[in-house]
Amino acid sequence: MNWMKYKLLYLTISLVFISSGLYSLFKWGLSLSIDFTGGVKAVYKLENGEILNIKEGIKTIQEVDKIRNEYKSKGAIEEVFEVVGPSIGPELIKKTYYAVGISTVLILLWITVQFRSVKFGISAVLAMLHDMLVLIGSFSLFGHFLNAEIDFLFVTAVLTTLSFSVHDTIVVFDRIREKLKLSSTENLELIANQAITETMVRSVNNSLTIIFMLLSLILLGGETIKWFGLALLIGTVSGTYSSPFVAIPFLVTWEYIQKKYVSLRTK
Amino acid sequence: MKKSLLVKLLLILAIVGVSLYVSFFDSRFKFSLGLDLAGGSRLVFEADTSRVDLSIKDKALESLRTVIEKRVNLFGVSESNVYSSNFENKDRIIVELPGITDPKEATLLIGKTAQLVFAIPNSESEATASSEIVGLIPTNLTGADLKSAETIFDQNTGKPAVAIEFNDEGSKKFETITGENIGKPLAILLDNEIVSSPLVNEKITGGKAQISGQFTLEEAEKLETQLNAGALPVPVLLVEEKTVGASLGVDSINKSLKAGIIGLIMISIFMILIYGRYGIVSVISLLIFAIITIAIYKIIPITLTLPGIAGFLLTVGMAVDSNILIFERLKEEIKLKSLETAMEVSFGKAWDSIRDANIATLVAAFILANPLDWGFLHISGPVRGFAITLALGIGISLFTGIVVSRSLLRLFIRNDK
């Protein structure tokens, strides 16, 4: 099947998702939990079984105690109580940047060495960034319309997406590498099409197994884990999509431009 | 049956047997649950090292950690953890207290400096700037000279008090101070507040004394703990607290467990529907994956958290993926070759992609788990929990995907003939 014929279509799909996410990011930003902003979050179960959610800004220790004592004296059960100081959030973000940055560089190196071409490395990392953008963008929208919050669990979901995206892309790359070794043709586009055709069933089936797991987590896993499951689900779907439809078209286009440039120069 | 296959099958059986035993039949092995599942508190203290000389800062922080560890241990919480972290010149001590119901108490116990100082009244003038409480001169006798402290009930008043015993050097100091100040009050200061100020009637030898302020029993016990563990070398400030009630934790476990089991069942049905008898092989190897994982979580033990469960679920996907990769290969190869050859070729080819893909994931897991405790990355908490289960899952899935599935498939084929 000639998958590469529809490169523009894939580009359009990705652009629609990413640009609506980016639009939301710039217009509404992210709705951050106290993990990032600092503040007080509490969940109390009152004596009549009612659940009470409290969210406050940054408070002094005395003010925090006051909140606590007020509910405790009413006999409410403390289910969650979180106090985060103002310095914690920025640190969390920085550490996550470092973690993502270092992992990205190492993955880039590993793929470049393993596939003997920096093109493969960069294409895989590009697909990975695509997935992270899709995920963060969609949560900006969820935050605005559905009150989803970006918390520490979301950071974990982003990191999971990073791992999964690369994992999935490498499987297709591996097929291309194998074909390049065996076949006489140097035409990367042809080989890429074959590789995508041959790995498509595997990709879809594999994603489906993960999606089953996540759907069951979203539907049955309870409130704490619902948004987390959804974030992982978006990451999985995007990660599966981006291997044949972002990484490979990018790789093929790069190769095409490079060839053209070389042939122009030799003329 | 080839000998090597027999050996492998026996090995697999042995591993599964041991794992089953550890997972379900030996109560000595238990899941270690993180705070978000077991309930409990995570407290982050920031050390105020502004007044500490740079040359001794590291030493002060090390001893800060030790003292906090001692206090936590004396507090009697099992499976508590104390980490230190440094990020951009901010020194933090992270304390994890599973199963605690009143974190406020813990915060007060751990966070209080508990600097014990004995002071005598300044007879000349009140102008001594060095003493922080007006009219008192601190002596060289401090909490560092203590040997032990114990909560007692005052024999006269019946109220809770703390009996202290000095070490040899402290006893001598105490003897000298009491000898020189007969008839005067000797103030006992705790963090610059006067706790009590008894009159010295005579020179006290033997190095024993009693602090009897207006304590409640809890306060006396807290002070006992603090004095026994020693004063904090630098003051600390609580910058983060996360507490999860035990009931919410239990609820989370039950729900994720249910979700996990139903997810596994759905995957099994899917695999059998799509791949038939090969699907059955992959379900068996998936079950083995789950059993070995549970056993390893219990043996090491791995602290389970919600992100950790996510890491596990992701590796379930990766474990199934190894099988799918092999089966899809097999579908292609079988068109050209005999079943047996096709299988061997598929294993070989699938292995390349399984290896490369999993190593890339391992690289990411390594950075996130941060085993070398690099200060600029996450030291504790959810990200690390996630990364550790992810890394372990990859390891186990390589074993079940390659060794277990492969051997079972070979076994299946032999039985066919």
Do strands B303-304 and B32-33 pair parallel, antiparallel, or not at all (unpaired)? parallel
In a domain, B232, yes or no: no
Q: Which residue of chain B has the CA closest to A125?
A: B360
The distance of B108 to chain A (nearest Cα, Å) reads 11
Residue numbers in B near A163 (CB within 8 A): 314, 360-361, 364-365, 390
**What is the rounded distance in angstroms from the CA atom of residue B183 to the CA atom of residue B199?**
6
Element (H, E) at B138: strand B136-142
Residues B164 and B312 in one domain: no
Q: Tell me the C-alpha distance between B62 and B53, whole Å.
A: 14
* Nearest-by-CA chain A residue for B325: A202
Nearest to A75 by CA among A41, A49, A42, A103: A49
B88, closest residue in chain A (CA to CA): A91
Contacts of B397 in chain A (CB under 8 A): none
Whether B202 and B252 map to the same domain: the answer is: no
Q: Are residues B204 and B159 in the same domain?
A: yes
Q: Which of B37, B254, B386, B398 to mutate to test the interface with A (most CBs of A within 10 A)?
A: B386
Inter-chain touch B88–A202, beta carbons under 8 Å: no
pLDDT digits (tens, 9 = 90+) for A104-120: 898 899 899 988 889 99
* Phi and psi, residue B44, nearest 5°: -115, 120
Among candidates A81, A82, A152 on the partner chain, residue whose Cβ is nearest the Cβ of B382: A152
Q: Mutate one of A209, A215, A226, A230 to test the B interface: name it (highest B CB count within 10 A).
A: A209
Considering the domain architecture, whether residues B151 and B179 belong to the same structural domain is answered as yes
User: Which site among A44, A93, A212 would you substitute to test the B interface, given the most B Cβ atoms closer than 10 Å to its Cβ?
Assistant: A212
> How far lies B226's CA from each of A16, B72, B150, in Å?
60, 10, 11
Could you tell me if residue B341 is inside a domain? Answer: yes
Per the CB < 8 A criterion, the answer to whether A174 and A116 are in contact is: no
Tens-of-pLDDT digits for all 417 residues of chain B? 678 888 888 888 999 999 988 888 888 887 778 777 888 888 888 888 777 777 777 888 888 888 888 878 877 666 778 888 777 777 888 888 887 767 777 787 787 777 788 888 776 544 444 445 567 777 888 777 888 888 888 888 888 888 888 888 888 888 888 888 888 888 888 777 777 777 787 888 888 888 877 788 888 888 888 787 777 778 888 888 888 887 777 787 888 888 888 888 999 999 999 988 889 988 999 999 999 998 998 888 888 887 788 778 778 877 888 888 888 888 888 888 888 888 888 888 888 888 888 888 888 788 877 776 676 776 656 677 778 888 899 899 888 888 888 888 888 765 444
Q: How far is B388 from chain A (nearest CA, A)?
A: 12
Residue B81 lies in a domain: yes
Order of strands, edge to edge, in the sheet holding B146-153?
B146-153, B160-166, B208-211
Instruction: Say whether both B18 and B96 belong to one domain.
Output: no
B353 and A106 within 8 Å at the Cβ level: the answer is no
Largest CA distance in chain A: 86
Cβ contact, residue pair B382, A81, below 8 Å = no
Pairing type for strands B236-244 and A77-84 reads antiparallel
Domains of chain A, residue spans: 3-34+87-266, 39-84
**Taking CB atoms and an 8 Å limit, are B352 and A174 in contact across chains?**
yes
Decide if A214 and B313 are in contact by the 8 Å CB cutoff: yes
* Preceding amide of B301 cis, omega within 30: yes
Residue contact B251–A205, C-beta within 8 A: no
Among A210, A250, A256, A257, CA closest to A129: A250
β-bridge mates for residue B42, sequence order:
B96, B242
Q: Assess if residue B87 is contained within a domain.
A: yes
Q: Span A225-236, mean pLDDT?
A: 89
Amino acid at B214: Q
B261 and B340 belong to one structural domain: yes
**Nearest by CB to A111, which of B251, B360, B386?**
B360
Task: Indicate which CATH number applies to the domain containing B256.
Answer: 1.20.1640.10
Do B302 and B160 have their domain in common?
no
The DSSP letter of residue B377 is S
Q: Are residues B18 and B93 in the same domain?
A: no
Residue A46 carries which side chain, given as an amino acid letter? L
pTM of the full predicted structure? 0.80
Contacts of B95 (CB under 8 A, 6+ apart): B41, B42, B43, B44, B45, B68, B72, B80, B81, B82, B106, B110
Position B223 in a domain: no
Choose the final residue of a domain: B183, B218, B253.
Answer: B218
Chain B residues within an 8 Å CB radius of A95: 87, 376-378
Nearest CA in chain B to A171: B353
| Residues A92, A93, A95, A97, Cα dihedral to 10° | 160
CA distance A158 to A15: 20
Residue A157: list chain B partners with CB under 8 A: 310
Number of structural domains chain B divides into = 3
Residue of B nearest to A103 (CA): B364
Contact across the interface for A163 and B360, Cβ inside 8 Å: yes
For residue B321, which of A264, A135, A207 has the smallest C-alpha distance? A207
Query: Which residue has 């039950």 as its token pair?
Result: B254
Q: Distance between CA atoms of A259 and B98, rounded to whole angstroms? A: 61
* Residue in chain A lying closest to B349 (CA): A178
| Whether residue B46 sits in one domain with residue B32 | no
Within this chain, do residues B124 and B108 fall inside the same structural domain, yes or no? no
Helices (H), B142-245: 168-180, 217-229
* Residues B139 and B253 occupy one common structural domain: no
User: Looking at the domain assignment, is residue B230 inside a domain?
Assistant: no
**What ipTM is given for this predicted complex?**
0.82
Domain boundaries, position B191:
116-218
* Residue B65, token pair as written in the block: 């950690």
Which residue in chain A is spatially nearest to B386 when comparing CA positions?
A156
Residue B137 is assigned to a structural domain of this protein: yes
The CATH number covering residue B213 comes to: 3.30.1360.200
Which chain A residue shows the shortest CA-CA distance from B266? Answer: A212
Which numeric CATH code is attached to A3-34+87-266? 1.20.1640.10
Asked if A95 lies within 8 A of B378 by C-beta distance, the reply is yes
CB count, 10 Å around CB of B302? 20
CB-CB neighbors (< 8 A) of A81 in chain B: 103, 241-243
Tell me the residue ranges of DSSP E strands in B63-115: 81-87, 90-98
Residue B174 lies in a domain: yes
Contacts of A208 in chain B (CB under 8 A): 270
Q: Name chain B contacts of A88, Cβ cutoff 8 Å.
A: 44, 239-240
- What mean pLDDT value characterizes chain A? 86
Per the listing, tokens 């080839």 go with B2
